[in-house]
Amino acid sequence: MLVERWISARIQLRVGPRHTGPYGTLQTVADIVKLLMKEDVRPVQADAMAFRLGPMLTAVPAVMSFAVIPFGAPLIMRDLNVGVLYFLAVPGVTAVGLLLAGWASYDNYSFLGGLRSSAQFISYEIPRTLVVVGVAMLAGSLRMSDVLEAQRSVPFVLLLPLGFVVYIVTTLAEINRTPFDIPEAESELVAGYHTEYSGFRWALFFLAEYGALFAASGFAAVLFLGGGNGPLLPPFVWFLIKTLAIVFLNMWVRWTLPRFRSDQLMRLAWKVFLPLSLVNLVLAGLVLQAVN
Amino acid sequence: MINPTVDLVIQFGLMFAIGAVLALALMAVSHRLAPTSRNPNKGQPYECGVLPQEDSRLPFNVHFYLVAVLFVLFDLEAVFMYPWALALRSIGLLGLVEMLIFIFILLVGYFYAWKKGVLEWE
């Protein structure tokens, strides 16, 4: 978060956090403490149960998705034989959380924001899932360590450049980051599904977003960049370098591009990325035939 | 020796518990630290101080529903592709051609939806 603020400041020619701790390094801690001490307001008409459940349903999957990320050779919580599928499925629960949060708030902005968020989420879920099929074809396995092993000589980004691009863009959309953060577009929907949230309940949404960003970037590093594979340095360091490179790319895009309109966004998902992901699938099949 | 499936369920249950406990604990800490001042106006929906005129359980655009239906179709199809992707090494070129035929049939429906304007948003 701190790094994001630094990067945004550099891009916008500002200074960024400087005063909290040496060079502003404690800014994140200060932010969290501040958020912990904020009042938690719940609208009277809101559905209490759903209002509480919404942020939980976005935060918990974000934590759970880290279970199958291989941080380095032995550093993986569980090397599931369907690890790739697990990673696509678990964060999917987030869509329910967003919808629930928006609906429970009993506020027009929240309601529309929640609807749009979940519509966008499921629209981009399809090209994303289809692109990962290409990786599964080349690796011949859904186990994370097998996917890494298959990339020992050539990372998949060289074999499936199109797939990599589609994956990165759809991931941006999936975790509601600019230029795909239309559900939170300030100018039309205030803050979208979390308009009525304050204090730490609101912070849970943000923590979930950052958790999802890191998990999805790590996943991309594993699927396309060969994760911990690399010369000299230990696997963990390689994994971290690749993941952070993708995270940086995300932030760079966020602070550089303007926001899309909602209709453009849906059109992009269905009319551009869906066909592209099918093309990627066919390409992956051809690559596999060529290799064999 | 514990059953591996049970072991797996326990581990993911643990992962779920970590996430949930983390979130709940932070909420509890916040509950202790945060000030509370009751004010009837705070409970109103955010509307820049204006009282909302209508119920906010609005009827919404049927488009969202159509998107959800399309999502179910395409995502199911994508999930069916995973076993095929894993088996592709052994079924070879024939398997690829068969999948291309399947995708073609799927595209017929896709273009039907396109022509019907399901993918258009105003």
Provide the residue range defining the domain that includes B84: 60-122
d(CA B73, CA B41): 45
DSSP summary character for residue A270: I
What confidence tens digit (pLDDT) does each residue in B2-24 have?
677 777 777 777 777 887 787 78
Residues A149, A4 share a domain:
no
Cα dist from A212 to A45, A137, A152, A209, whole Å: 30, 25, 26, 5
User: Domain count of chain A?
Assistant: 2
d(CA A53, CA B29): 18
Closest CA to A82 of A137, A130, A140, A144: A144
Query: Both tokens of residue A75?
Result: 């550093």
d(CA A66, CA B105): 37
Residues 82-141 of A with CB under 8 A from B: 85, 105-109, 111-112, 115, 119, 122-123, 125-126, 129-130, 133-134, 136-137, 140-141
Rounded to two decimals, the pTM is 0.75
Residues A102, A204 share a domain:
yes
Query: Both tokens of residue A223?
Result: 């699927």
Residues B75, B26 share a domain:
no
Residues A26, A78 share a domain:
no
B53 lies in a domain? Answer: no
The nearest CA of chain A is from the CA of B43 a distance in Å of 4
List chain B residues with CB under 8 Å of A134. 85
What pLDDT was estimated at residue A24? 59
| Partner-chain contact A130 B78, CB within 8 Å | yes
What pLDDT was estimated at residue A84? 80
User: Domain count of chain B?
Assistant: 2
Name the residue with tokens 């066919």. A282
Note whether A165 contacts B: Cβ–Cβ < 8 A: no
Determine contact, residues A142/A191, Cβ cutoff 8 Å: no
d(CA A17, CA A27): 7
d(CA A201, CA A38): 10
Residues A93, A7 share a domain:
no
Q: Taking the CB of residue A160, how many other CB atoms lie within 10 A of it?
A: 24
What pLDDT was estimated at residue A105? 72
Cβ neighbors of A174 (< 8 A, separation 6 or more) are A91, A121, A124, A125, A128, A212, A216
Amino acid at A279: V
Amino acid at A201: R
d(CA A126, CA A95): 13
Write the burial class of residue A162 (CB in 10 Å: 0-12 exposed, 13-18 middle, 19+ buried): middle
Residues A100, A1 share a domain:
no
B116: domain CATH number is: 1.20.58.1610
- Over its length of 292 residues, how does chain A's per-residue pLDDT go in tens digits? 556 665 656 555 565 566 666 665 666 666 777 776 666 666 666 667 777 777 777 878 877 777 777 776 555 666 667 778 878 887 778 888 787 877 777 777 777 777 777 888 888 888 888 888 888 888 777 777 777 777 777 777 777 778 888 888 888 877 766 666 655 655 556 666 666 676 667 777 777 777 888 888 888 888 887 766 766 677 777 777 888 888 888 777 777 776 777 777 777 778 888 888 888 888 887 887 777 7
Residues B68, B104 share a domain:
yes
B12: left (phi over 0), alpha (psi -120 to 50) or beta: alpha
The nearest CA of chain B is from the CA of A248 a distance in Å of 25
Residues 44-63 of B with CB under 8 A from A: 44-47, 52, 56-58, 60
A87: left (phi over 0), alpha (psi -120 to 50) or beta: alpha
Residues A53, A140 share a domain:
yes
d(CA B110, CA B122): 20
Determine contact, residues A55/A205, Cβ cutoff 8 Å: yes
Give the nearest partner residue to B85 out of A133, A195, A263, using CB atoms: A133
Provide the residue range defining the domain that includes A253: 41-291
Name the residue with tokens 């290409």. A134
B41 lies in a domain? Answer: no
**Higher pLDDT, residue B96 or A184:** B96
Question: Which residue, among A107, A110, A117, A138, would best test binding to B if mutated, counting the most B CBs under 10 Å from its CB?
Answer: A107
DSSP summary character for residue A269: I
B98 lies in a domain? Answer: yes
Q: Is the ipTM of this complex over 0.85?
A: no
d(CA B74, CA A122): 10
Residues B64, B18 share a domain:
no
The nearest CA of chain B is from the CA of A130 a distance in Å of 6
Residues A48, A190 share a domain:
yes
List chain A residues with CB under 8 Å of B22. 59, 63
Residues A126, A231 share a domain:
yes
Q: Where are the alpha helices (DSSP H) in chain B?
A: 4-33, 62-115
Write the burial class of residue B65 (CB in 10 Å: 0-12 exposed, 13-18 middle, 19+ buried): exposed
Determine contact, residues A86/A64, Cβ cutoff 8 Å: no
Q: Is A114 helix (H, G, I), strand (E, B) or coil?
A: helix
Residues B117, B76 share a domain:
yes
- Give the max Cα distance, chain B: 70
Peptide bond into B35 cis (omega under 30): no
What pLDDT was estimated at residue A181? 64
What pLDDT was estimated at residue A62? 79
What pLDDT was estimated at residue A228? 66
What confidence tens digit (pLDDT) does each residue in A235-292 have?
777 777 888 888 888 777 777 776 777 777 777 778 888 888 888 888 887 887 777 7
Residues A90, A51 share a domain:
yes
Residues A262, A121 share a domain:
yes
What pLDDT was estimated at residue A222? 81
B91 lies in a domain? Answer: yes
